[in-house]
């Protein structure tokens, strides 16, 4: 006698009326964000210390550029001490929005079996990272506001955005988050094929540092660097969101910047889709 | 052959290509220009058929191919060759319709959010599996009740003991009402009471829902409590597939007789019936060849005034060891 003899109907006879896909994704992202926020509240002090630690980098840049601006009669390439202050204070938020799942994390994810656990679930693992980190961003924004207030008191930024700039900025920081998530996922997938990925990751981050507006506002870079940056996704993740709020920027440039973000999101999503297929195929062939 | 089996595989095989390198600088230098590999057969052509509602124990020593097989059945590994269908799907395609109908629980891996109460992880599972609210609540409450989790689900998972975490883990993995359960060492590291609790829950779940269960374990008590059928795998090949009770028939060459006499006898006289495991003047435990058992029992009954006599197969873990040993023995 098998166990089926003891039940009136098996599970196969009682199909589940699953929620529609769109509602399921809204619920998934909502739950992931709520879960992540609850999780980050467990580490609120650590989060705050982490954010305060991150301020060191922009403050160094800011002090250097303000000194140069004052030494050159008040401005460098159109940036005054006040606009530099605005740039690097907004920088602190954009930098935090740029923190996504690191490509260095894939090795541990594979080694510890976390990836296998995700692969047996009926949802693409990227939604985990997008939803979870998005929840963290909500905490980050809340924690950032008082820090930005203190920085503003100390460095006196010149910031006078239009309503359009504020709206564009609010959209652009999430666009930046999506682009960086997708491209770093793409980069991390190299881990599936080779164990010698660290040098590649470092080269990518060096290029990003120089071509994104993180180190220096892109407007201060040589012409050829600005041209090169137009063909890469980095500026959409850093320089553009900052400039969208701080300026100087025209209405048309705002629209073009947002469209360019959309373009990189589509490129990233398509690339992740294909790379993921290959990565999983490789993973299920050799390790699982 | 009808195809409505829960699991059906033919010639299922998995070969891993692993790099090999000798120790030393010279070998390291050589490997820069010429990397050498060798093929390791983890699963070597396995034929399986598991019916809906069956609970099957999948046994073997470490490295036998159990986990590799479970990974192929759950879609984590692509077979090198052979065919595999589970609930009518080819698992390696990892179709969502398939993943929603199965679950894989690995005793050493965790799906629960470490810092949050298990209830939050349950909510997340609801979203992942797209469960309608009424079904989710019903299933969640039933699992909390069956696993006696009521007082635990609102504590952060990191504050739970290993056994409590495992119970919460199992509840989380069954919220979507899977039709097939792949359980890899679900009682690993748990104390005896918790092992028993999980066993009785799994038996109950199987009875209530008719779900198929494939279980790997090193604890023979799990097997005896849950599995009528066992599959023994060794070096990637199936050594035995059949009823648990038939396992002893095939691999145990002896039975154990426990005799209690009405009156004392000379303890040295027991040895004429078989190998003496333990003896006193009124009681003996003897190991007797399977074929000779009937004759030995008849002799003892005719030679002595017997108060009690039992004939037992050796313990199941001993039988399994014998099965592995038979596979290692030169043919």
Interchain pair A4, B120: CB under 8 A: no
Report CA-CA distances (Å) from A232 to A102, A179, A204, A222. Answer: 19, 11, 11, 16
Residues 6+ apart with CB under 8 A from B162: B189, B190
Q: Are B173 and B106 in contact (CB under 8 A)?
A: no
Q: What is the pLDDT of residue B2?
A: 47
Interchain pair A7, B96: CB under 8 A: no
The whole-number average pLDDT for the span B255-262 is 91
Residue B238's pLDDT band (boundaries 50, 70, 90)? very high
Phi, psi dihedrals of residue A247, rounded to the nearest 5°: 80, -175
Q: What is the pLDDT of residue A42?
A: 79
The whole-number average pLDDT for the span B95-117 is 86
Q: What is the pLDDT of residues B65-86, one digit of tens each?
A: 988 999 999 999 999 999 999 9
Interchain pair B127, A30: CB under 8 A: yes
Residue A12's pLDDT band (boundaries 50, 70, 90)? low
Q: Which residue ranges make up each domain of chain B?
A: 7-248, 253-312
Residue B3's pLDDT band (boundaries 50, 70, 90)? low
pLDDT at B109 over 70: no
Cβ neighbours of A117 in B, within 8 Å: 106, 109-111
Is B7-248 a CATH 3.40.50.9100 domain? Answer: no
Interface-testing mutation among A7, A121, A280, A283, with chain B (most B C-beta atoms within 10 A): A121
Q: Which residue from A4, A30, A284 is facing B52, i.e. has the nearest CB? A: A4
Cβ neighbours of A19 in B, within 8 Å: 130-132
Interface-testing mutation among A2, A5, A42, with chain B (most B C-beta atoms within 10 A): A2
Query: Can you list the pairs that B26-34 forms with residues at least 24 positions away whose Cβ atoms lie under 8 Å?
Result: none
Q: What is the pLDDT of residues A42-93, one digit of tens each?
A: 787 888 888 888 888 899 999 999 999 888 888 888 889 999 999 999 999 9
The whole-number average pLDDT for the span A118-145 is 91
Which stretch of DSSP H or E encloses residue A128?
Answer: helix A125-155
Q: What is the pLDDT of residues B82-98, one digit of tens each?
A: 999 999 999 999 999 99
B155 touching A (Cβ < 8 Å): no
Cβ neighbours of B53 in A, within 8 Å: 2-5, 7, 10
B206 touching A (Cβ < 8 Å): yes
- The Cα of A3 is separated from the nearest Cα of chain B by a number of Å equal to 5
Q: What is the pLDDT of residues B21-73, one digit of tens each?
A: 777 777 777 777 777 788 889 999 999 999 999 999 998 888 889 889 999 99
Q: What is the pLDDT of residue A22?
A: 86
Interchain pair B52, A31: CB under 8 A: no
- Distance (Å, whole) CA A101 – CA A217: 25
Q: What is the pLDDT of residues B290-311, one digit of tens each?
A: 888 999 999 999 999 999 999 8
How does the average pLDDT of chain A come out, rounded?
89
Of B147, B124, B151, B148, nearest to B136 by C-alpha is: B124
Q: Which residue from A39, A120, A286 is facing B75, i.e. has the nearest CB? A: A120
Q: How much of chain B is helix, strand and coil, in % rounded to 5? A: 40, 30, 30
Report CA-CA distances (Å) from B259 to B269, B276, B277, B310, B313. Answer: 13, 11, 12, 7, 15
In which region does residue B234 sit, left (phi positive, over 0), alpha (psi from -120 to 50) or beta (all else)?
A: beta
pLDDT at B313 over 50: yes
**B265: helix, strand or coil:** coil
Interchain pair A116, B71: CB under 8 A: yes
pLDDT at A153 over 80: yes
Q: What is the pLDDT of residues B140-177, one digit of tens each?
A: 998 898 888 888 999 999 999 888 888 899 899 999 99
B31 touching A (Cβ < 8 Å): no
- The Cα of B212 is separated from the nearest Cα of chain A by a number of Å equal to 9
- The Cα of A206 is separated from the nearest Cα of chain B by a number of Å equal to 28
In sequence order, what are the beta bridge partners of B240? Answer: B232
Phi, psi dihedrals of residue B81, rounded to the nearest 5°: -160, 175
Tokens standing for B74?
């759950």
Q: What is the pLDDT of residues A172-209, one digit of tens each?
A: 999 999 999 999 999 999 988 877 788 899 999 999 99
Cβ neighbours of B100 in A, within 8 Å: 16, 18, 122
A 10 A CB-CB count for B268 gives 9
pLDDT at A104 over 80: yes
Beta strands in A29-74 (DSSP E): none
- The Cα of A272 is separated from the nearest Cα of chain B by a number of Å equal to 18
Q: Are B314 and B255 in contact (CB under 8 A)?
A: yes
Residue B108's pLDDT band (boundaries 50, 70, 90)? low
More confident residue, B183 or B220: B183
Q: What is the pLDDT of residue A187?
A: 94
B12 touching A (Cβ < 8 Å): no
The whole-number average pLDDT for the span A154-175 is 94
Q: Which residue from A39, A117, A284 is facing B113, i.e. has the nearest CB? A: A39
Cβ neighbours of A284 in B, within 8 Å: 75-78, 92
Q: Which residue from B17, B96, B116 is facing A38, i.e. has the nearest CB? A: B116
Q: What dotted CATH number matches B253-312?
A: 3.30.70
Cβ neighbours of A9 in B, within 8 Å: 210
pLDDT at A130 over 90: yes
Cβ neighbours of B127 in A, within 8 Å: 24, 27-28, 30-32
More confident residue, A165 or B105: A165
Residue B330's pLDDT band (boundaries 50, 70, 90)? low
Cβ neighbours of A16 in B, within 8 Å: 100, 131-132, 135, 176-177
Cβ neighbours of B52 in A, within 8 Å: 2, 4, 10, 12
Q: What is the ipTM of this complex?
A: 0.83
Q: Are A87 and A129 in contact (CB under 8 A)?
A: no
Q: Are B274 and B255 in contact (CB under 8 A)?
A: no
Q: What is the pTM of this model?
A: 0.82
Helices and strands (H and E) in chain B: how many: 11, 13
Interchain pair B210, A24: CB under 8 A: no
The whole-number average pLDDT for the span A168-173 is 96
Chain pair A-B, CB pairs under 8 angstroms? 132
């Amino acid at each position: 006698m098998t166990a089926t003899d003891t039940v009136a109907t098996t599970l196969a006879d009682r199909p589940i009326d699953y929620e529609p896909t769109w509602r399921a994704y809204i619920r998934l992202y909502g739950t992931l964000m709520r879960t992540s926020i609850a999780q980050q509240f467990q580490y609120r002090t650590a989060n705050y210390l982490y954010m305060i630690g991150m301020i060191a980098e922009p403050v160094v840049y800011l002090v250097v550029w303000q000194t140069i601006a004052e030494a050159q009669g008040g401005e460098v390439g159109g940036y005054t001490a006040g606009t530099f202050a605005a740039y690097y204070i907004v920088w602190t938020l954009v930098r935090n929005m740029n923190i996504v799942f690191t490509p260095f994390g894939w090795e541990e994810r594979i080694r510890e079996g976390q990836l296998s656990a995700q692969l047996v679930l009926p949802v693409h693992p990227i939604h985990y990272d997008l939803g979870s980190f998005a929840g963290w961003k909500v905490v980050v924004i809340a924690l950032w506001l008082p820090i930005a207030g203190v920085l503003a008191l100390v460095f006196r930024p010149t910031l006078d955005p239009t309503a359009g700039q504020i709206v564009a900025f609010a959209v652009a920081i999430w666009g930046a988050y999506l682009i960086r998530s997708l491209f770093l996922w793409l980069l991390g997938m190299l881990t599936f094929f080779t164990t010698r990925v660290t040098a590649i990751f470092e080269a990518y981050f060096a290029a990003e540092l120089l071509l994104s507006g993180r180190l220096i506002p892109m407007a201060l870079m040589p012409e050829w660097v600005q041209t090169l940056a137009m063909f890469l996704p980095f500026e959409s993740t850093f320089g553009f969101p900052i400039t969208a709020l701080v300026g100087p920027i025209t209405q048309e440039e705002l629209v073009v910047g947002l469209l360019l973000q959309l373009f990189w999101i589509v490129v990233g999503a398509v690339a992740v889709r294909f790379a993921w297929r290959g990565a999983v195929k490789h993973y299920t062939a050799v390790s699982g | 052959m009808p195809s409505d089996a829960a699991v059906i595989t033919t010639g299922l095989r998995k070969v891993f290509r692993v790099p090999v390198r000798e120790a030393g600088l010279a070998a390291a230098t050589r490997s820069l220009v010429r990397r050498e590999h060798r093929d390791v057969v983890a699963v070597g052509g396995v034929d399986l058929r598991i019916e809906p509602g069956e609970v099957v124990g999948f046994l073997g020593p470490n490295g036998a191919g159990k986990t590799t097989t479970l990974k192929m059945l759950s879609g984590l590994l692509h077979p090198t060759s052979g065919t595999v269908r589970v609930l009518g799907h080819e698992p390696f395609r990892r179709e969502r319709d398939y993943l929603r109908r199965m679950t894989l629980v690995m005793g050493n891996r965790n799906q629960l959010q470490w810092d949050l109460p298990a209830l939050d992880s349950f909510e997340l599972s609801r979203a992942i599996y797209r469960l309608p609210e009424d079904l989710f609540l019903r299933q969640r409450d039933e699992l909390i009740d069956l696993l006696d989790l009521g007082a635990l689900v609102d504590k952060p998972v990191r504050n739970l003991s290993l056994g409590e975490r495992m119970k919460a883990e199992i509840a989380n993995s069954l919220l979507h009402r899977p039709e097939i359960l792949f359980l890899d060492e679900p009682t690993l590291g748990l104390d005896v009471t918790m092992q028993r609790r999980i066993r009785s829950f799994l038996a109950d779940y199987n009875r209530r829902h008719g779900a198929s269960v494939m279980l790997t374990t090193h604890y023979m008590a799990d097997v005896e409590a849950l599995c009528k059928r066992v599959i023994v795998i060794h070096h990637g090949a199936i050594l035995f597939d059949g009823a648990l009770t038939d396992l002893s028939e095939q691999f145990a060459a002896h039975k154990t007789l426990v005799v209690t006499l009405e009156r004392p006898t000379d303890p040295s006289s027991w040895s004429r019936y078989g190998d003496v495991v333990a003896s006193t003047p009124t009681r003996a435990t003897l190991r007797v060849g399977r074929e000779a058992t009937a004759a030995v029992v008849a002799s003892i009954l005719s030679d002595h005034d017997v108060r009690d006599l039992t004939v037992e197969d050796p313990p199941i873990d001993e039988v399994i060891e014998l099965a592995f040993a038979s596979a290692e023995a030169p043919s």
